[in-house]
Chains A and B, each alone.
Chain A
């Protein structure tokens, strides 16, 4: 038997050195891109907002996928079904858009949304979101503390409360044709809650502009309160001396209080709040006092009976 002889490799089969190295470079870049996609948004957010300021408010829990955050929403202006906002909010025009700040302030102002976007450095804040319906998410919001905006209007000493008014426009918001809530949607905070650094004036999500179904172009987010407190598509902020009545308080005074702090010890009259289902998980997890933000916000309620002021 003849020994096997390796055939000579013709020159045409040999990859030129330049191409050989170009391939390595391509693989390196592709690998890098793939790896980058797996990292938290804060590390690759060169999106429409450029460099984002690092925020200490970032819970170290797995982010809820963007698809879930943008397809499972309570935003009754666009319908009461969870999928309705994603289906119907596309028509909402977010430019031009202004937010008025009025009431007990020295300098009432009407801010243009594009000026708000430039008002302060945007931070990515990874917050837990706990819905009053006993499900939860972990959401990478973009924005800055609401206090940044409020202080520009110089609240007076009489400003004890803040009311948020959402857009009322049944032509754009089909859900407002039904009287399911008292429109426009109104929410409120005590002034110290509103000035708390955790209270986020929110302008973006997952490194990008806020999708319409999540409350574009601007909303607030208070991670230690049930989700309905975090009013969406805000057009007005009013500083008041007296506590305002919110839309959900009108809808069910014994079910939805003004404070609506996440509290596993105070049940909703019709269901338990001790546990929650994190979207994407099977077993329920225990709900944390103030949604895990007790260190930051518990002092705000130091002497209050939270069973009474629910």
Chain B
């Protein structure tokens, strides 16, 4: 209050109302610029996709089982790329969900307060490692290790990329889930203990279900992150679009394909060039839907347990 008064006095000759208007205008401008940029990106995606779909039928795009836009025999079926994306994402979630949730429960229910305060930020460091480092880790450490167990494993494969991606998103799930479990009223924990529950029964019978909306949101955000992840899969999963659920062979994700074409020598404005926009909009629809779903779940169930 005092500061405000001071600055007011300092610009005595400058009417307060004009000052207010300028600040208001600047704030408005920054908000509008953000929205405009988003709108512009969507516009570019849409317009390029429209011209792509004027040449390739959307039915072929969604049903053709091959994706070979760079070959002489061109096929434009997005399914192999979608399958590659979903496969690596599924492996990542299969790794991250059990580990992340276990960590969240451990930190909340078992770990002493000081331990939790140390470990949680440490875990979040995992999220700050550049993804290119994770990519090389997958290719040069995890794949050779896995090849000792599965000799038929290809040098580039979905398994190793998925596992490493899973490690990358553990902190996302553990941290957000831990927040959700912490937010469950203490009275519920006391009720569970008061009924003779063990710690394990309290954690999985009462706390986790009560925090389920927050946990689901954390998983959806993690899925969204995994779907959009580029570097790890580009380095370790291969560049061979293939409609398969076999995690041991090279595949290609939507993101990897976009990288491949962007870095290649495909002429601007060609049909091959426009494929990346079609792939991009597919990816955008996935992540947009997931983020909205998490937003909706959060809104619908958040206050339920208060």
Q: Do A and B bind each other?
A: no
Binding site for B on A (CB under 8 A): none
